[in-house]
Structure 1
């Protein structure tokens, strides 16, 4: 039984009722303007003028609810006074004549008229509940204070529009007073409950805003996945190359100090590049400005191939077409795809030359990495442990760009990774 009375003892119940009553008070300045049509029609019956005033009053309140500022204020107040979790409405899109590289859809679309009417409907409901609740609460609280006979004289009682309550003096008057106060508390609970039920339906996200929020969450998830791929490709490649270079330096340190120093310099360069990539990714994850290094692209391919040569790998590049004109996402994705393919060739290859082919056509970018495998074909014997995320990550990256990818044995002794990305080269 005590659980049923717990809501009556919570401050949030009366804060919600106060929110409703304040809505009624805020609507009072509109009442004189609503009475103007009735005052201009003095010959109309009193009832007609009252109805006309109420209707004009409701229209003015509804018009006030069409303003986006009103919606923002109501959402903030409902969150604070009602404890209802409501997201902020989507911001108006800013118009700009400057070109943008982003091809993503805008985060907000034009809401239909039915969605725009939800805020006026909330405001009308808010004011109506506020006025009904305030008048009833004043009546009940007043009755609770006046009914005890010792406070109101020998003939205590309440009379409103012909209805009267005049209990006998003594415990009956006190019981009636407590009943009125309890009804006033229950009324506050009902008003607060009604507003809490209406708030998410009328002040919550519209259908267009829900779609925009879902699109934004999807975009954020895709961006996090992209950054995870960037980090995996960069750090994985660097660790593989550095491990091989360190082994080479250790083997030739006594016989060929110059070659050992070259391997150590290559380790320094590759790890510095990896740190720049790490700084960039962490900056993006913290929603800060990216670090000093931009994301890698095909323009950085020569540097990548030089690091592989310093690691002792024999690289045979075949570059055709002006691939330096490839810009944006395809260029960055192509670099990471080649980096992952070359890393796998170093990890799993059985020595021999690594053939790297990059062909830039007007409508597509073709990438290929071919390396020798261990005996028996397949992907070769793994010289270093691998997490197994490389090839699935490449497949996901290529599919997001609507490209094609194949990976598998190329004859009895070779493994081939081939990717085709659709691109549009600038004229």
Structure 2
């Protein structure tokens, strides 16, 4: 009984549902104007009621083709019917057909409910008015009914309430039908929802990659700049010219990092999928020169033809080298670094070593190394980083091997 009362009796949810269904009657007036003109011009008087309905349905179908009509129905169905109808992302011909069916059903249901509401309220109130006016005979639907003017005419009150309650039950049933089928006709199709999910996943993946890229880029810049500032401070009195070069390098690298950061933040504010600048092994010499300006000796050996390395592999190899150099600067400042890059016919190998220090023995859990592992695994390569004992003593070694060809 409580659920029945909540469905029929006035309330925010019920009134919104009534408003949505009755809005279909107002919407039906738009196609009824050209439909009425067409019915009068092309059909005989006896057939005009049927042709008016057909022409109205036809023009309502055409009216549903613009995308904004479907978008508006999805929005108002969500607000007034209380169902979740996501905004559609596409508007193909199947979408137009579904929207047309819904618009025609909305117009028909709205016109039906509006007509019944007017007729039922009139038939419910008329006996009560005749009773209050002293009684009289009344044509009630398909028969004539005598309404007395004394106390015996009180039966007109429960009759009126019964008719209004039946109207409420019918409206509640109609609203329930609209709530049930609104997502089916207005919400995005399964393929469209999958496409939206894939798009969101791509954006999140790109932003996660961006976060790792910012960590690598800005982390490298800050580490190198810190060491260069220390070098400049030490050389300020003995070699001012070299100190000025170190400060100029700090300024240049900091400006580049700020430009990259401003670019990324601007894209994030606009809600776009950010694309950070992609550097490859073609930028390796500039990276090594930037590290050498910190006073760190870097010995590099390059074998093979780097320009022939696929762009994806070249980009990830550059990031691996940059992260390895950053770790070397952070944990073993000014210690000599050896880098070997070998671009073979099937594999690209990167090996970076530097002397171990007391600070460099705790390099296992950094997010930079985790990012290297993720990159290498994504390309189905191999990676290892650990202390090793060589003829030169104990050294930290980073080794990565990336397949150049998919069948490697």
Counterpart Cα distance in 1 of 2:315 and 2:292:
22
| C-alpha distance in structure 2 between counterparts of 1:298 and 1:156, whole Å | 99
Say whether the 8 Å CA contact 1:352–1:371 is kept in structure 2. Answer: no
Give 2:300's aligned residue: 317
- How has the CA–CA distance of structure 1 residues 226 and 253 changed in structure 2, closer, same or farther, with 3 Å as cutoff? same
Of residues 324-333 and 143-152 in structure 1, the stretch that sits farther from structure 2 once superposed is: 324-333
When the two structures are aligned, how many residues end up with a matched partner? 392
1:267 is aligned to 2:247 = no
Q: What is the CA-CA distance between 1:17 and the residue it aligns to?
A: 2.6
Stretch deviating more after TM superposition (200-209 or 389-398):
389-398
Greater per-residue helix proportion: 2
SS of 1:380's equivalent in the other structure is helix
Match of 2:229? 246
2:70 maps to 71
Q: Distance in 2 between matches of 1:70 and 1:331?
A: 49
Change (3 A) 1:211 1:288: closer
Q: Which residue of 2 aligns with 1:87?
A: 86
Contact 1:363 1:422 in 2 (8 A): yes
Residue 111 of structure 2 corresponds to 131
Deviation, 1:344, is 1.6
State the Cα distance separating 1:420 from its structure 2 match: 1.5
Contact 1:122 1:202 in 2 (8 A): yes
Shift of 1:263: 2.9
Give me the whole-angstrom Cα distance separating, in 2, the residues matched to 1:28 and 1:151.
40
Gaps of 5+ in 1: 93-109
* TM-score normalised to structure 2 length: 0.77
Residues 358-377 of structure 1 show CA distances to partners (whole Å, capped at 9, x for unaligned) of: 4456776x25141124279x
Gaps of 5+ in 2: none
| TM-aligned CA deviation for residue 157 of structure 1 | 4.8
RMSD: 4.2
Distance 1:295 1:355, change over 3 A: same
Structure 1 residue aligned with 2:269:
286
Establish whether residue 16 from structure 1 lines up as the match of residue 20 from structure 2.
Answer: yes
In the TM superposition, what is the alpha-carbon distance from 1:85 to its structure 2 partner? Answer: 4.3
Aligned-partner SS, 2:215: helix
Question: Is the aligned partner of 1:374 residue 2:378?
Answer: no
Distance 1:75 1:189 in 2: 20
The answer for the alignment partner of 1:406 in structure 2 is 383
Cα-to-partner distance string for 1:401-420 (whole Å, 9 max, x where unaligned) = x3414122374233123142
Task: State the shift of 1:172 in Å.
Answer: 2.5
Q: How does 1:23-422 map to 2 (within 5 A)?
A: 23-29=27-33, 65=64, 68=67, 70-79=69-78, 81-82=80-81, 84-91=83-90, 117-148=97-128, 149-150=130-131, 154-155=135-136, 157=138, 159-160=140-141, 162=142, 169=149, 170-287=153-270, 294-324=277-307, 330-349=313-332, 352-360=335-343, 366-374=348-356, 380-382=360-362, 388-400=366-378, 402-409=379-386, 411-412=388-389, 413-414=394-395, 415-420=397-402, 422=404
